[in-house]
Amino acid sequence: MNLARLQQEFQNWLVNASDDSAALLGNHVAGLAVYQNNYRAQLVGCLEGAFPNLRQWLGDEAFLAACITHIDRHPPHAWTLDVYPAGLQKTLYEVFPDNPDVHELAWIEWSLSEAFVAADAAPLRMEALASVDWDTARLQLAPSLRSHALTT
């Protein structure tokens, strides 16, 4: 088995606990389970870090259940875990369909997270400030601004 295939089978094991993948990896299920547990714990930690207020609002048990549902349905798809929490909102609509407060709190927390890492707007140069007509000047909102109609 080449390295690319080994990595693919290991990923299949981590995400799905595939028996076929376990067999190809040497069928050491107990040892593989350690890796899977660490993988899932890191994903839960990633979601906890992105949504601390949501976790407090829901309580540890309900938040963990939502995280596990999300992890089972949506494995990471990017090279960095920074974007993994973005999909939790969709899962929350499925897990808590009648709780707009949960949806809105998750939206607020994720929007704040995105704002912290968003690209800055280009600053005005000093020369440009000197020629501004302050009577007609208009402010522009930051490119990372997000707005959302709230219901709660």
58 in any annotated domain: yes
What total number of domains does the chain contain? 1
Range with the poorest average pLDDT among 38-52, 84-98, 129-143: 129-143
CB 103 within 8 A of CB 110: no
131 in any annotated domain: no
40 in any annotated domain: yes
Q: What is the pLDDT of residues 65-104, one digit of tens each?
A: 999 999 999 999 889 888 999 999 999 999 999 999 999 9
143 in any annotated domain: no
Instruction: Give the predicted TM-score (pTM) of the model.
Output: 0.80
136 in any annotated domain: no
Q: Quick one: tokens of 49?
A: 């870090």
Domain of residue 24: give its range. 3-119
